[in-house]
Structure 1
Amino acid sequence: MKQLLLKSLALAVIAAAGHASAGVVVVTPADMNAGVNSWTLANYRGLSTGHTSTTVAAINTVNPRSGNGSVQMSLTDASGKADFAYAWGFDSTRTLGTLSALSYDWYRSSGGTSDTHLQPAMRLTYDADGDASTLGDRGYLIWEQVYNGGGMVLDTWNSSNILAGNYWQRQFSPGANVDNYIPLQEWMSAGRPATSDLLTANSAVLGIEFGIGSGWGGSFNGFVDNVTFGFNGESTTFNFEAVRAAEVPEPASALLVGLGLLGFAAARRRKSK
């Protein structure tokens, strides 16, 4: 019986290790702005930068989502703006064609005076031809709830799996919007808008970001957490926390510990006999 249990635990360890295609990374204020492969506060416009908006863009405990914190994003007038960006630059394995996961949790508080359809938007930064030496073909593909059906639910966390959603395009050069709201597959097809950057499955994804502002009128208060992106079936979820909690072993590690303890107990019993 003990041998059967040991064998079952071993198989469970193998299965858990074989399916470890997703990971969770905790991001605290101390982890921000640490260079490559870290989240960075970008495009901030607030009192400290000469604008009239009291803009907040920080990880805090005001409205925790999955633990003790989340990212608060708020502004008090149209001059405010803030983005949280994660950029990795050119990576041949990270393209529009290999993008396999994209989701996030977001929240809009009631009481703000900005347009009722606004919420923290998600953006993919692309390079259309996948060539680092050409600079005139970069931009954003932007996801917003208003272009994806369903009403805005205030004062509650919304979980949006946006991989198959509708996006519009913002071209860095010549600084123009392509206001078509279509899925990623259509942006990569021959039926894409004629005025758009020519995206394909080989278009490089250079990073992701979420943010508020850029001409929003009135006041706004919202939150973001659990941002997930992945390529080729491997994904990472970023859980924003005010304070890092004690590390919890991954399932495979916990099973290995359990297996070791069970084997040790069995050995002790044999020795005592």
Structure 2
Amino acid sequence: MKTLTRASLAVLSVFTLGASAQAAEIVVTPADLGPGLNKWHLDNYRDTSTGYSSTTTAAITDTKPRSGNGSVEMSLTDGSGKADYVYTWGYVPGRTLGNLSALSYDWQRASGGTAGQHLMPAFRLFYDADGNVGTTNDTGYLIFEQVYNPPGNNGPVTTDAWVTSDILGANFWMRQFTPGNTVESYDNTLAEWAAGAHPSAVADLLSADTAILGIEFGIGSGWNGSFQGFVDNVTYRFGSGDVTTFNFETEAADVPEPASLALITLGLLGVAARRRKDQTM
């Protein structure tokens, strides 16, 4: 009986661990894109179809898969192009700058582009400075770009290889929405912003209570020349909550229905029971 119990627990543990490992990963396919909160969507798209001279790509493709069959491909053919992938959740208790405990993403730049060799897909945090939905004129972005971070400041980024950037401790610069203003201070970490770093008289004064309303990544806005890049495995965490990773795929992998998993479990338990019976005969 002890042998059967251990076998049963082992089988159940496999399925429990499998479900747990997948719980933190959200697979995003083209069918999952759409407007509104808690959905990825394309924004700030500048292409020949929208009156610009750039032929711009921003889509989930299988050109450079990262963790499965796809990733987000982003490209432009001249400096007029731009595209962002955006995910917002609005005002959620606990999702504050001071409570952010994990932030990373995977990216790749393809070789051959003529845009500045320091450029790569940028990452942004969408903030409300005082965390109060009732106030206005205090929202903007904190923006990560490799060029403002060691190693290789201002140097060419790696090409044709996936890079995982853990940016929780990286330098971010600020772009205010109202007025539209770039705060030209590029060496403040998120911890320094949360501690009230105020590098300019025109900067929004942030704090640990600054609300983080969403995340996004993108290319373009004055990138003279051509560019092709890719993004996958966007990860964040607040406090001690679950780590959430967005894995972009061209299509979702087939996952057995719960009833099928139950049948598989019972089948494995049956095999374990028969083996025990055979050993005792």
Query: So what's the TM-score if we normalise by structure 2?
Result: 0.85
Structure 1, unaligned runs of 5 or more: none
Q: How does 1:6-45 map to 2 (within 5 A)?
A: 6=7, 9=10, 12=13, 16=17, 23-45=24-46
* Equivalent in 241, 245, 261 of residue 237 of structure 1: 245
Identity of aligned residues (%): 53
Contact 2:64 2:230 survives alignment (8 Å): yes
Match of 1:164 in 2: 169
- Cα shift readout 1:186-219 (whole Å, capped 9, x = no counterpart): 0122443143211111110000000001111111
Which one of the candidate residues 186, 191, 202 is aligned to 2:192?
186
After TM superposition, give the deviation of residue 266 of structure 1 in Å.
5.9
1:77 & 1:206 partners in 2: Cα distance? 31
Residues paired across the two proteins, number: 270
Cα displacement (A) at 1:182 = 1.4
**Superposition pairs of residues 48-197 of structure 1, within 5 angstroms:** 48-151=49-152, 152-180=157-185, 181-195=187-201, 196-197=203-204
> Which residue of structure 1 lines up, in the alignment, with residue 229 of structure 2?
222
TM-superposed deviation, 1:3: 5.3
**Secondary structure at 2:243's aligned position in 1?**
strand
Could you tell me how far apart the structure 2 residues matched to 1:3 and 1:132 are? 57
Query: Secondary structure of 2:98's partner?
Result: coil
Q: Name the stretch that deviates more: 225-234 or 103-112.
A: 225-234
Tell me, in whole angstroms, the C-alpha distance in 2 between the residues paired with 1:61 and 1:187.
37
Conserved in 1, the CA contact under 8 Å of 2:197 and 2:206?
no
Q: Secondary structure in 1 aligned to 2:78?
A: coil
* Letter of the 1:140 counterpart: Y
Deviation at 1:259, TM superposition (A): 6.6
Structure 2 CA distance, aligned partners of 1:267 and 1:11?
Answer: 14
Deviation track 1:3-44 (CA, whole Å, cap 9, x = no partner) reads 562586389579949976961111111111153211000000
CA-to-aligned-CA distance 1:113-158 (integer Å, 9 cap, x gap): 1111110000000000001111110000001111111241111111
Q: Contact (CA 8 Å) 2:126, 2:140: kept in 1 or not?
A: yes
Secondary structure of the residue aligned to 1:114 is coil
Q: Is the 8 A contact 1:77 1:217 kept in 2?
A: yes
Cα distance in 2 for partners of 1:73, 1:102 equals 21
- Contact 1:41 1:83 survives alignment (8 Å): yes
Partner SS for 2:247: strand
- Aligned equivalent of 1:209, options 216, 219, 223: 216
**Residue ranges of structure 2 left out of the alignment (5+ in a row):** none
SS of equivalent to 2:84: strand
